[in-house]
Structure 1
């Protein structure tokens, strides 16, 4: 049934020509791209520290949860399962890893749903708009032929449950501040356990005409990236929470400028560092280390610089 639904959408896509496909690709990419993490970091550094913190925690945690399930279920992509399916060529570059559940839909839930939860109580229209963006992103993955309905539906449910649980956990941490160290230790332990699971579990090894159909090592890359993000996020989060606590209340121009400039090293950590480390430690661990450093940079390194400038300004004033 799920593949017949994709075949129906494929016929619609082919009959519509190039009318809707670019729009669906834009919607899909908007939810999950390097620009998404960059925007979340900019918000954290210069716009709203508390919301940015909430946003980043939801994003990295739900990403790891999705990758653990992906690499446990090992569901092949739709076009691997049925040769009649031909996904939109422009969507193939971002269709990495196994199929179930959808990573793009998880990212949309983490970003859009977080906005709705944080600001939607006073702006119901915003909560509805963010909910519509989640559904549109999920549909775009079906329309482009890279995920089944089950993939996106499961992602919405799983990420929704994660956001709810994470919200309750953060409320408890606010009531009992000393729990933050245990939360950070638990997050780092979860990241390492996930990596051990990725490396030790078995994977399907199906061959067609002597060629491996899906390479598990390629499928593990997103999992190592997500685990690295979580591993670097939590110590940075703990340091910022206990030692730094910079402010975004005054919205000074220099802070916006610094946040914009700080995005440039992020790009280097994301694009260049994995290539430099891969010959030394292998592609998977290069991604893990790079993403861990990137998350720590976002959560602690840049906030430390902002905090130092703010303290200097207060002393000078």
Structure 2
């Protein structure tokens, strides 16, 4: 930890308003809301197959990262070393334990999957540079150590590589059922684990709620993917270009309102946050596609 903190102190020594502004922008690229917005664009409007790859990589790696967070329970750098000062306005978004980095996980899942999908070398390099800058931004802002960032990157990269490999196989209906159950069991295992740690007093409510959110979203993904790919099969590109823009704007607006509304109604409890993310993922995966298929693909 000492070596890691020395590196963070070196980054702290070069902070200035210009660099801080640049790294704030990069850290936004790893925010949950950005990942969800890009995912919705691909899923609803552009490339459903690629959206599934992003979804599986993002949610499966999130379950792994959240599991490691509540297992190791490593505090943030400024808690570990009270003399260290992070960038103040970065603290609010730094929820949960420090190890591994959630922003790095999200950025690697999204931009790493896009990098694997593109055939252009320049695009691959640019996308992996974005991942590197998101990880560096978390250290520059003082909310993560190199161990947090590198561990998250390796775990998520391995996850998206596995997803990319297995996505090339055709799945029968029976195999889809097995995959849905497998992902659901994986997510529920995290749910049981985090509830157990919370009830025995090992972790606090906020940390348990974050893990529960990831687990519930994973269950929502498994069910949503199975239902859509087996029964719904909406056409994401059937609309006119103008309707595509309208479709995306309506969908994102309702998604944001749903996210905020469910948060207000259900609260910040373990159950509340779990139900919120479960319903939110089902809306993205099944609810809005049903509306698209019924009303918008004819426009």
Judged with a 3 Å threshold, the aligned counterparts in structure 2 of structure 1 residues 179 and 205 are, in CA distance, closer, same or farther, namely closer
Bigger shift: residues 58-67 or 132-141: 58-67
Work out the CA distance in 2 between the residues paired with 1:255 and 1:241.
Answer: 21
Note closer, same or farther for the CA distance 1:83–1:55 as it changes in structure 2 (3 Å cut).
same
Is 1:8 aligned to residue 10 of structure 2? yes
CA contact (8 A) 1:31 1:137 kept: yes
Unaligned runs of 5+ in 1: 207-214
Once the two structures are superposed, residues 78-131 of structure 1 have per-residue CA deviations (whole angstroms, 9 ceiling, x without a partner) of 111111211001211111100111000001101110110111x2x111001001
Q: What's the offset of the Cα at 1:261?
A: 0.3
- Quote the offset at 1:204 in angstroms: 11
For residues 203 and 277 of structure 1, do their structure 2 counterparts lie closer, same or farther at Cα, with a shift above 3 Å needed? closer
Q: CA contact under 8 A between 2:198 and 2:205: conserved in structure 1?
A: no
Deviations for 1:178-204, whole angstroms, at most 9, x for unmatched residues? 311111111122221111100113799
Using the alignment, how far apart are the partners of 2:66 and 2:131 within structure 1?
Answer: 19
Structure-2 change in CA distance of 1:203 and 1:236 (3 Å): closer
- Cα 1:148/1:295, change in 2 over 3 Å: same
Is the Cα contact below 8 Å between 1:74 and 1:203 reproduced in 2? no
Q: Distance in 2 between matches of 1:216 and 1:124?
A: 45
Name the CA distance, whole Å, in 1 between partners of 2:172 and 2:298.
31
**Contact 1:25 1:90 (C-alpha < 8 Å) held by counterparts:** no
2:75 equivalent in structure 1:
76
Cα deviation code 1:12-38 (max 9, x no counterpart): 11xxx2110111011001221313202
> Is 1:262 aligned to residue 248 of structure 2?
no
Normalised by the length of structure 1, the TM-score is 0.87
Q: Does 1:292 align with 2:278?
A: yes
User: Which aligned pairs between 1:11-160 and structure 2 lie closer than 5 A?
Assistant: 11-13=13-15, 17-119=16-118, 121=119, 123-160=120-157
Aligned residues: 296
Give the Cα–Cα distance (whole angstroms) in 1 for the partners of residues 221 and 42 of structure 2.
16
Root-mean-square deviation (CA, aligned residues, Å) is 2.1
Structure 2 residue runs of 5 or longer lacking an equivalent are none
Q: Deviations for 1:27-81, whole angstroms, at most 9, x for unmatched residues?
A: 0012213132022112210121221222122212211111111111111111111
Match of 2:225 in 1: 237
Name the CA distance, whole Å, in 2 between partners of 1:68 and 1:33.
Answer: 18
Write the distance in 1 (CA, Å) between the matches of 2:189 and 2:129: 35
Q: Decide whether the 8 Å contact of 1:64 with 1:227 is kept in 2.
A: yes
1:143-292 to structure 2, matched below 5 A, reads: 143-172=140-169, 174=170, 176=172, 178-201=174-197, 216-250=204-238, 252=240, 253-278=242-267, 283-292=269-278
Instruction: Note the C-alpha offset of 1:269.
Output: 2.4
Maintained 8 Å contact 2:173/2:230? no
Task: Compare 294-303 and 46-55 and name the one that shifted more.
Answer: 46-55
Task: Tell me what 1:307 maps to.
Answer: 293
Contact 1:233 1:296 in 2 (8 A): yes
